[in-house]
Structures are given as structure tokens and as C-alpha cells.
Amino acid sequence: MASMLDAAHTTQVIDAIDGNRLFKQRKYYSVDKTTGSVCFCLSTDDVEIEDRDRRRKRSAVYDSYRDLMDNKSDPRVNNWAMMSSPFPTFFICLFYAYFVKVLGPKFMENRKPFELKRVLLYYNLFQVALSTWLFHESLAAGWGGYYSFRCQPVDYSNNPRALRMAHGCWWYYFSKFTEFFDTIFFVLRKKNSQVSRLHVIHHGVMPLSVWFGVKFSPGGHSSFFGMLNTFVHIVMYSYYFLAALGPKIQPYLWWKKYLTALQMVQFVLVILHAFQLLFIECDYPKVFVWWIGMHAVMFYFLFRDFYVQTYKKRKTAATTLVNKETEVNQGNAKQQNSEKENGKMYATEYKMATGYISDNGLRNRLKTYKNNSDELYMLDREEVITSRRKTELRKR
């Protein structure tokens, strides 16, 4: 009877232990059938096997990563600067976000803001020139008549035009780092209110996003985004250059809000252009269709929120203020008319009649009307007083 209980107890324990995958695979337990006690034991060989398995898993992950970076990417760009790994770009983007949100404002906390007027002029002029060159390269290497807007696979050959597009994509990636100075200049000038969520996300995400495009598909369908973006930046940095010239140019910069609208139109075009490949056959990686398309969706809503917050609500607030002022003015006018109708202006009329209020600050002249005549006479104050005295004497 006792042996039956021990066997049943042992079986339950073993089943419970076998439910744990780790011990089911390795059988790191021993069971005393008489007492039903369980002893977990790891021999030296078992530990070595465990460590070897862990190293093998880590090695498998690293080998998969290297295979992706070396064999699944575009071999033409593997030896280009910053293209061997995404981690340098990732850490630069992290440091950028930390600097503009924490380190930079703390550094400038007890310092006067930098002027940087001349620096801004040269910087914006440089960005206009760089964006113009990149836009020209995107047209000359493909989008000026050689690429199809419907479906454009990536040309991985060493064709001069394909290499020109690949180099243009790398320089576009590099330009995203130069745009960090947009935010850095805001911090140095202590304009922290302009370091918005949209601004930091937009500039912080773009270098890493473009890195994957250059690494795996430098050219082809998704380069449409870069072509549009460089055109928008030509307009945008031209505006910033004009704004940096000073207040004399400000009256001619009424079109500022249309820059944000242009950005949103850009993202709508990118969304339509990218997601059309989900409905047609095209030899282009679908993963980059989603990568570019979802980035455009995210940025569209971020810019839309910024547009509503900056322009729509500001316009509504201004309209409300004007309406309130109009209501106040109308109320004051009604009150004055009501007072006149109720005869509450007798004090002023009395002063005018007695000469205490003079015309244009002169107390020696008085305007008055004769009841028996339609003409206006200007009478001396003494004549009015004399006439009143004669009237009083006659009544006596």
C-alpha cells in the first residue's frame, strides 16, 4: 500500500516538473521513490552544455544580423561612411534629442541668448544650395524622365545613372544631420518654445529612417520621397533666409502658414505613391513600401496637428477678440445714447451755458443758440452775463 502511494506521489511530482520546459529538456532532477523528495542537480557537463547553448543562440543572432547587413543589403554601399551599421546613426539621433531637450537648455539657463544673425543667413543659404543640388540629382538620375511613377524597382547595378542615384541618396542621408542645426540654433538663441514635439521627432527620426533606405534600396520607388522633400526644403529654407534678413522683409512673408500646408501635401503624395504598390505587381520590397508609407502617415498627422494648433486656433482666438471688442463698443454707444435720451447730459449743457466750458480750451468765448433765430452767434461771456442781469432786474 505504501509503495503504491509513493509511486503515485512520485508520478505527480515528475509530471509537475515535466511541465517546466527547462527541466523537461534537461532532466535536471532526481526523485527518491521512497520519500517522494526531489533533488535538482546540475553536473559540470550540464552547466557546460547550458553555456554552450547560450553562446550558440547569441552567435545565431549575431550571424543573422551580419547576414542581413552584409548579404541582404546593397553591396555597393557597404564600405561607404556610416553604412556598415545603424548604431552610430541611432546614437547620434539619441544624443541630438538629449541635447536639444535637456543638455542644451540647461547649458543656456544662466547665459544670454546668442544673436547668430549672420550665422543663420549663411546656414539657410547653404541649406538652399544643398537642397537645390539634391533635387537636381534626383531628377537627373531618375525622376526627370527615366523613372516610372507607377512602379520603379531598384537598380543595383554599377550603371552610371544607378550609381549617381545611390550617391544622391547617401548625400540626402548626410543632409539630415546638417538639419540638426535648425534645433541647435533655437536652443542657443533660447527660443525653447520652438523646440516642439513635432520639431524634435521630425529631425530625430529622419536620419535613421533614411539610413535603412540607403543601406537596402538606394534609389527606386521610395526615392520619390527624397525628391519631393528636397523641393520642399528649397522653399522652406528660402523663407528662413528671408526671415533672417530682418524686420524690413517681414511684411512680405505672409505666406509662412502655406509652408506647413506644402509639407502636408508632400506627405499625402508620398502616401498615395507608396501604397499603390500594395495593389499592383512590382519588383520592389514591400517592407519599404510600409516603411516609407507609415512614416509619411505619422508625419502628416504631426504636421496637421501643428497647423491646427498654430494657425486655426490662433485665427479663432483673434476673431473672438475682435467680436468681443465690437460688442463692448456697441454697448458703450447704446449706453451713451440712453443717457442722452434720459436727460443725463444736463451738467455738461449747464457748464456750456454758463461759460465754464469754452471752445478749444478758450474760456472767453461761448457757443450758444438763440431760440428765436436759426443763426448761430458767437457771444462774449460778458454780454451773456449782462443780458441775464437785465432780465432779473425787470422781473423785480
Q: Catalytic residue among 9, 136, 199, 202, which?
A: 202
What 3-state class would DSSP assign to 181? helix
Distance CA 305, CA 297 (A): 12
Distance CA 247, CA 177 (A): 30
Distance CA 82, CA 87 (A): 9
Distance CA 355, CA 229 (A): 76
How crowded is residue 30: how many other Cβ atoms within 10 Å of its Cβ? 10
With residues binned 3-state (H G I as helix, E B as strand, rest as coil), the percentages for the chain, rounded to 5, are 70, 5, 25
H/E element, 329:
helix 313-341
Q: Which residues of 360-377 are buried (b: 16+ CB within 10 A; e: fewer)?
A: eeeeeebeeeeeeeeeee
The burial class, CB within 10 Å (0-12 / 13-18 / 19+), for 273 is buried
Q: Which of 96, 246, 226 is nearest to 168 (CA)?
A: 226
Helical spans, DSSP H, in 83-159: 87-98, 104-107, 117-138
Distance CA 29, CA 14 (A): 9
Q: Which of 265, 287, 160 is nearest to 221 (CA)?
A: 287
The burial class, CB within 10 Å (0-12 / 13-18 / 19+), for 156 is middle
Active site residue 202: yes
Residue 232 · residue 222 · CB < 8 Å: no
Distance CA 86, CA 82 (A): 8
Active site residues per annotation:
202
